[in-house]
Amino acid sequence: MALCFLFLVMCLVSFSSGDDLQRLQQQTKADGSLSFLVVGDWGRKGAYNQSQVAFQMGRIGQRLDVDFVISTGDNFYNSGLTGVDDLAFEESFSSIYTAESLQKPWYSVLGNHDYRGNVEAQLSDVLRKIDQRWLCLRSFVLDTELVEVFSSIQLHLWTTTSQTQKDHTYDWSGVNPRKQYLAKILKDVESALRDSTSKWKIVVGHHTIRSIGVHGDTPELVDQLLPILKTYNVDFYINGHDHCLEHISSRSSPIQLLTSGAGSKAWRGDIKSWNEDHVNFFYDGQGFMSIQLTDNIAKIEFYDVFGNLLYSWNSFKQLYSAT
């Protein structure tokens, strides 16, 4: 049974309520399957083991024959890009992820550190001319023939306190007034999920919903986004922000919460001892995640900086014959 794969990206830049979501095509493999890597919080010009993680991503990406890569945000430290001519783009991206297996589309989310720089630079077509893999648009839908994945919900506007705004300057151009902008994001997300007919539904954002890492739970997402994801039977929420690898299962719904934010600097050492939901796996070091999808099986794997498999978990969907 061929299902539509929908990849909805909202990168916290303005678009009018009349804009249509741009639709892109992503082919599955000949057997109808799909595989991709997920990495976040990485852009440090190769430092903090970013280059080593990238090398292992290339090795695993080749073995899995990945179709694309998802970046969960904080793409360029410490303060995003200064502009489209910022050498950090090539020094932290093009010159780091050089493996042949990683020469695939990179669908990228914006993180809080990215908003400390020039947001429009990361969204610019100029970067795609420098490296055609790079794709960060205001919003888009990626269609394949397998599954629907909604990615991503970048809701840093919710989580910026008056103290962090005092300590740092953020590029809010195009997203004010924030209250109305966030209301539109939630409305668009709910509408897209409501219209989905796919078995598999995945939502990707930068911030955690649940986590035992240093940032912990994000109350605004728990209160306002998580109920929507549960209502429309989202299978996985994928995020970065906490510099770790993590799998948490909801106790009140089938949704699985997956953190892949260990692309460079990690080992924070600040681990919370309790979470309302069930923690299946937590790793405080560097690494990345892979996802392999078929019509009825999703395989989640976490790898460390040496390419060692740390954790593997499968989710199954019941196949029904057509009547």
Residue 206 is labelled as binding a ligand: yes
Cβ-based neighbour number of residue 30 at 10 Å: 6
Task: Name which residue leads in pLDDT, 98 or 147.
Answer: 98
- To the question of whether residue 74 is assigned a binding role by annotation, the answer is yes
Tell me which of 113, 156, 215, 247 is the catalytic residue: 215
For residue 99, tell me if it sits in a domain. yes
- pTM of the full predicted structure? 0.91
- The CB density around residue 4, as the number of other CB atoms within 10 Å, is 15
Question: 123 exposed, middle or buried (CB, 10 Å; 0-12, 13-18, 19+)?
Answer: buried
**Average pLDDT along the chain:** 85
Q: Does 295 belong to an annotated binding site?
A: no
The pLDDT assigned to 318 comes to: 76
* In a domain? residue 143: yes
In a domain, 3, yes or no: no
Q: 190-244: per-residue pLDDT in tens?
A: 888 888 777 788 888 899 999 999 999 998 899 999 999 999 999 999 999 999 9
Any domain includes 323: no
Structure token pair of residue 193: 């999920």
**In Å, what is the CA distance from 139 to each residue of 34, 76, 122?**
22, 20, 13
247 is a domain residue: yes
Extract the runs of DSSP E, i.e. beta strands, from the chain: 9-10, 22-25, 34-39, 68-71, 106-108, 134-135, 139-143, 148-153, 201-205, 236-239, 245-249, 256-260, 278-283, 287-293, 297-304, 309-316
| Residue position matching structure tokens 């780091």 | 96
Give domain status of residue 302, yes or no: yes
Q: Mean pLDDT check: name the lowest of 155-159, 199-203, 237-241, 261-265.
A: 155-159
41 is in an annotated binding site: yes
Looking at residue 273, what is its pLDDT? 79
The pLDDT score that the predictor gives to residue 44 is 98
Determine the pLDDT at residue 192.
80
d(CA 213, CA 244): 7
pLDDT of the residue at 151: 56
Q: Is the pLDDT of residue 33 over 90?
A: yes
Pick the residue with more confidence: 321 or 166? 166
Token pair for residue 90? 């090539």
The CATH number of the domain holding residue 68 is 3.60.21.10
Domain membership of residue 45 (yes or no) is: yes
How much of the chain, in percent, has pLDDT values that exceed 90? 60
* 3-class secondary-structure state, position 69: strand
Number of structural domains (the chain) is 1
- Active-site annotation holds for 113: no
Domain that holds residue 149: 9-316
The answer as to whether 1 is a domain residue is no
pLDDT at 172: 75
Q: Letter for the amino acid at 206?
A: H
Tell me the average pLDDT across 296-304: 97
